[in-house]
A and B are shown apart, each in its own frame.
Chain A
Amino acid sequence: GENVEQHPSTLSVQEGDSAVIKCTYSDSASNYFPWYKQELGKRPQLIIDIRSNVGEKKDQRIAVTLNKTAKHFSLHITETQPEDSAVYFCAATGPEAGSYQLTFGKGTKLSVIP
């Protein structure tokens, strides 16, 4: 089955700086890679996703890049704000999973220091 590794586990940045979170996956058949933001006590919220037919996707201050050859993808947050503080999870899935269930990384706790 799929295995997703996520780094770093914790990340502290100054407000206004950029943050980068990296994930690797094991199943070369995986073709969908979402990122979720989870604030304390709240539901995971889908913030951006990328499919294997593109290498980069942007949405305002967040972007995701995908390197299929190396089987890794990254989340980039620019001009960080205190409200970006949360736990971020990467995930992967694809046709081999049948149901397209998501395999998640262990999460990155991002702290943005005002």
Chain B
Amino acid sequence: DTGVSQDPRHKITKRGQNVTFRCDPISEHNRLYWYRQTLGQGPEFLTYFQNEAQLEKSRLLSDRFSAERPKGSFSTLEIQRTEQGDSAMYLCASSLGAGAKYEQYFGPGTRLTVT
């Protein structure tokens, strides 16, 4: 499968615990995005990487959230001290970026449930 992959697919955690999600983009894509989707809503932008550089963050991304893309390949999203309001689907997307290639392809998401 050469599409975007995410791991884990589901995560149940207790409030106050830390969680980390991983995204593997399509191999030649240098742009990587994280979005959050809650029930009945469209995805909302969280943060963006161009290669290894994190170039943009949404105001939705509180200081409890951190994202990395250390070698410009896979990315991780960590949530510290989880809250019930963090329960959502976390989606990763990637795009080629070059030559105005805007198309973003999504992974299957990680569904987080905070109890």
Give the interface of A toward B (CB within 8 A).
4, 6, 32, 34, 36, 42-46, 49, 89, 91, 93, 98-107
Contact = CB atoms under 8 A, between A and B. Distances in A.
B104 interface: yes
Interface string B6-41: 000000000000000000000000010101000011
A59 to B, nearest CB: 13
B67 interface: no
B97 to A, nearest CB: 8
Q: Looking at chain B, what size class is its interface with the partner chain?
A: 20 to 34
A32 B95 CA distance: 14
Contacts of B33: 99, 101-102
A103 B91 contact: no
B42 A105 contact: yes
Nearest to A94: B102
20 contacts: A44-B91, A44-B106, A49-B103, A89-B42, A91-B42, A98-B55, A98-B56, A99-B31, A99-B48, A101-B33, A101-B58, A102-B33, A102-B43, A103-B45, A104-B42, A104-B43, A105-B42, A106-B41, A107-B40, A107-B42
A80 B76 CA distance: 39
Contact of B102 (A6, A32, A42): A32
B108 interface: yes
Given A101-B48, A101-B56, A43 B108 contact: yes
